[in-house]
Amino acid sequence: MAATAKKAAAVKRAASAKKAAAPSRKAAAAKRTAKKSTPSKALAKKSAPSTAPAKKASASRALTAKTTPAAKTTPATKNAPARKNAPAKATARKSAPAKKAAPAAVTPAKTTPAKAASAKATPAKSAPTKVAPAKPPRNESHTALVRRARRINRELAEVYPYAHPELDFENPFQLVVATVLSAQTTDLRVNQTTPALFGKYPTPEDLAAANPEEVEEILRPTGFFRAKTKSVIGLSKALRDDFGGEVPGRLEDLVKLPGVGRKTAFVVLGNAFGRPGITVDTHFQRLVRRWQWTDQTEPDKIEAAIGGLFPKSEWTMLSHHVIFHGRRICHARKPACGACPIAPLCPAYGEGETDPEKAQKLLKYEKGGFPGQRLNPPQSYLDAGGIAAPPLGATAPGAPASGASAPGAPVSAGPAPGSPAREAG
């Protein structure tokens, strides 16, 4: 009996010892698990259910906190960021619909650039208003100047393929007389006057023997008619007496005639004899300085400077191109910059009207839909839309060209010195 009691007591002590050691073994196991386990939140969550009842898990955590220093970093502290992040996730989940709604707000924004693009495309029609002056380099080389000048001439040749002398003539004699008469007046007024003059005095011999008073009466509309009468009668006598009634074809001989200078001589040589020459009239002088081809102001020096930029074979047509452009678009007082086809190449762009609609109203002759200066223009001019000028005293179709009398207005004796009509021709 005593032995049995001893065995029972031993069994009880062993059971109690096991029970007492169980928490320590569980704490050690928990310690090993804590060391081996990753800091992942998911593993921490998975490890929580592995501890059997909740009461035992709390007891083991309490024991672990007492027995081990590692228990200072409790799972609760690890779960704290997760709890803090949980609202963030919820916020993100709540903001998800906002992201889906964002495209709805973007939809009108996509159409807005289209409207803006159309709004930007509208001013593109008036592109010349944004053109900057093509200022040449300060130290432009001669080669660069030659290239720039020739490019402008090529552009003008495309704009005015019908360029021609704007004086009506049928032979060299009529051309030299008409050119002398064109001084200080318009070509239009000369063309309206010469039919009566050549109808009465068709040859140099006839005009040389004319009564000066009768010639003065015919030439009155051109202005300075007394001085011009003296010149045309004097050159007619020189042709009759010194050249057999024929107009000479050399510069040296032409400049000897009364009233004939280099400009008149080159007009005659280039258009009546086909010999190249540069006509330095008021339009030519103005434009070559605007384009900065030269800074010379004397006609002879301008002629020499421009002649060095172009082949001699181009001199005559170059003169026509420049003069045509000066009479139609690049005016002296108010250039039509906004309607100029060579605006991107022009150093003086902006000196005149840059608004395209306003500039269009400044165009003259065929560019503005008005009659030209010749009563009998070449066919190429008419094919390009040009309109022949009306005879003296006749009503012009449409608006009168510059220098022409208004319909029904009396014929004047010509423009006064310094008047705009002198420049317009």
Residue 215 and residue 229 in contact, taking contact as beta carbons nearer than 8 Å: yes
DSSP of 139-196, one letter per residue? T--HHHHHHHHHHHHHHHHHH-TT---SS--SSHHHHHHHHHHTTTS-HHHHHHHHHH
The number of beta carbons lying within 10 Å of the beta carbon of residue 295 is 10
Catalytic site residues?
A: 263, 281
Query: Which of these, 120, 128, 131, lies nearest to 356 by C-alpha position?
Result: 128
List of residues 6+ apart from 425 with CB closer than 8 A: 182, 185, 186, 187, 188, 189, 327, 373, 402, 403
Angle at the Cα of 269 from the Cα atoms of 266 and 270, rounded to 5 degrees: 80
Tokens at residue 39, please? 């800091």
Query: Which of these, 241, 245, 276, lies nearest to 176 by C-alpha position?
Result: 245
The number of beta carbons lying within 10 Å of the beta carbon of residue 267 is 25
List of residues 6+ apart from 188 with CB closer than 8 A: 373, 389, 401, 402, 403, 404, 425
Distance CA 288, CA 306 (A): 8
Distance CA 62, CA 68 (A): 10
